[in-house]
Structure 1
Amino acid sequence: MNSKKILLLGFGIPLLLVVAIASFLILPWLLIFIGIYLEPNPPTPMNKHGEFPFHLVYEVDDKQYTIDDTIICDYAGIGMDEGHGKYIKWDEHLANGEKITQKLMSNEDQFSITLFNGFVQGQGGTFINYDLGNPQYYLGYKKYTSYNPGRVSISSSTASGIISEDELWNKYKIKIIEAKFSQPMVGNSISTSSSYKDVAQNAAKGVTVISQESSYSPNTKLIIFTWKNDTDKQLTYEDSFYIQEKIDGKWQDVYREKAVGFSQDKISFDPHTQITYTYDISKYTNNIPSGNYRVVSPVLVPLKERSYEAHVLCGEFTIN
């Protein structure tokens, strides 16, 4: 063997090893991205911009503050992450440029201004924020039954969450004297011009997903399917899925507030084989209402070496 062949062999083996390791590390994240990408987009809001004046007077340590400003809310497009799948992004700021703090509070995004940022005896560094109302509320995208702006929340090493005005005054000597907020827009809902696309249009050809039971009860936790791969290709999937319900003749996502639960584990589905696959729907709900549903799982179909095409597997089931 000449020196050139030895040199090529010396470079080739490490290169193949690097490619193999990279494929092993990258493929799970590729599955996650593809699974999220194949989800339908959330419905587009009809009202995408609004301006809402407010008036706030409050007292901190015997010093009074007054804010007269305008809350500006905007639809900011579609976001994606492994925890929530696809979701609507919102933007909110004040007309005068004052900073608004955004954080997740009681399963809702809270857009607030800071009333207090300092040290409190016994609990260390402490933030106390006043909720100005979120874009979903003002633009009418979400219907609330018992919510209005004006929640006060605390964040410290020993205390976190919504607090009452009595606790705000008795413990922190902060008092809300007067607060007036604009009413939200009415009749926004979602845009009727949003294009509907059934994710099943991207179902993997040659693969069937059949429920083992004709129907399930509302307290069912596990839905069992038979997957059959009649193709000559080895498919790759992960242990993740989301749920859709057939409403007015169209399939729509349900339980969007729950994490989709994408994993990094890749699993092979061999050609011309049949497997039993169980979906644990209790991660979404412990009491699913009666209706027609389906589960949607992302799957990769190989095109050529280290090249894949993204598809889904859809399996329908009924709750009675």
Structure 2
Amino acid sequence: MNLKMVMIIGIPLLLLFAIVVYFTMPWIAIYLGIQSEPNPPSPTTRYGEFPFRLEYEIDGKRMVIQDTLICEYDGVGADEGRGKYRKWKQRLASGEDRLTLLKLDENKEIIFPPGDAQYYMGDRDDTSMEQTLFPNALLLKKEGRITIEELISADQLLDEYNIKLISWNSSEPIKNSFK
């Protein structure tokens, strides 16, 4: 192979390699940095059940949802925003995906989120604060593959959808320790 052919093929390949390294190196460095961090301590309590009761009124009719939020430790996760962290799974004992107050159409529904596993399992610094939206709710809108959550205030719930959240009674979060 002559020198001219090496220059014609080699220089563009070297330039392409340099561009790829330039754009991927920061992400590789972040990934390696996160993976080199120590894992967060494991929780001593890894499973919890938290019964709750939501009472609300829709078009003057009183409704009650009683269920149990089941929370389980799910190992260690990692991302560029938090580094390594404890992951938690949660599900409702009823098997439902969420607490739907009103299904408006195929792509819109009003839901009430019961809180998250991290809060109930004592894996937050702010466990003294209630972590639900009560007396507000969320409007879920599906737009293609994307689901958008929009906060609905108690006033807007009543004015636009004739829904009034009356009471929210849930179990207290546990006091967990991490070893």
Q: Matches of residues 1-320 of structure 1 in structure 2 within 5 Å?
A: 4-5=1-2, 9=6, 10-100=8-98, 113-118=99-104, 128-142=110-124, 143-147=126-130, 149=132, 151=134, 152-155=136-139, 160-161=150-151, 163-164=153-154, 168-185=157-174, 187-190=175-178, 192=179
Which structure has greater helix proportion?
Answer: 2
Where in structure 1 do 4 or more consecutive aligned residues deviate above 6 Å? none
The TM-score with structure 1 as length reference comes to 0.44
The TM-score with structure 2 as length reference comes to 0.71
- Higher Cα radius of gyration: 1
Which residue of structure 2 lines up, in the alignment, with residue 103 of structure 1? none
What per-residue deviation string (whole Å, max 9, x for no partner) do you get for residues 206-244 of structure 1? xxxxxxxxxxxxxxxxxxxxxxxxxxxxxxxxxxxxxxx
CA distance in 2, matches of 1:35, 1:162: 40
**Deviation of the 1:90 alpha carbon:** 1.9
CA gap of 1:96–1:8, structure 2 versus 1, over 3 A, is farther
CA gap of 1:52–1:145, structure 2 versus 1, over 3 A, is closer
Structure 2: state its 5+ residue gaps. 142-148
Higher relative contact order (CA 8 A, sep 6+): 2
Match for 1:153: what amino acid?
A
Q: 1:36 touches 1:81 (CA, 8 Å); kept in 2? A: yes
Which structure has greater strand proportion?
Answer: 1
**Deviation of the 1:41 alpha carbon:** 3.1
SS at match of 1:144: coil
CA gap of 1:155–1:176, structure 2 versus 1, over 3 A, is closer
Q: 2:39 touches 2:85 (CA, 8 Å); kept in 1? A: yes
CA gap of 1:5–1:88, structure 2 versus 1, over 3 A, is same
What per-residue deviation string (whole Å, max 9, x for no partner) do you get for residues 13-46 of structure 1? 4332322222122112112222333334333222
Structure 1: state its 5+ residue gaps. 101-112, 120-124, 193-320
Percent identical residues: 40
SS at match of 1:131: coil
CA gap of 1:87–1:97, structure 2 versus 1, over 3 A, is same
Q: 1:168 touches 1:175 (CA, 8 Å); kept in 2? A: yes
Q: 2:52 touches 2:168 (CA, 8 Å); kept in 1? A: yes
Corresponding residue pairs, total: 168
Q: 1:42 touches 1:87 (CA, 8 Å); kept in 2? A: yes
CA distance in 1, matches of 2:156, 2:87: 33
Q: 1:126 touches 1:154 (CA, 8 Å); kept in 2? A: no
CA gap of 1:7–1:98, structure 2 versus 1, over 3 A, is farther
CA distance in 1, matches of 2:47, 2:113: 19
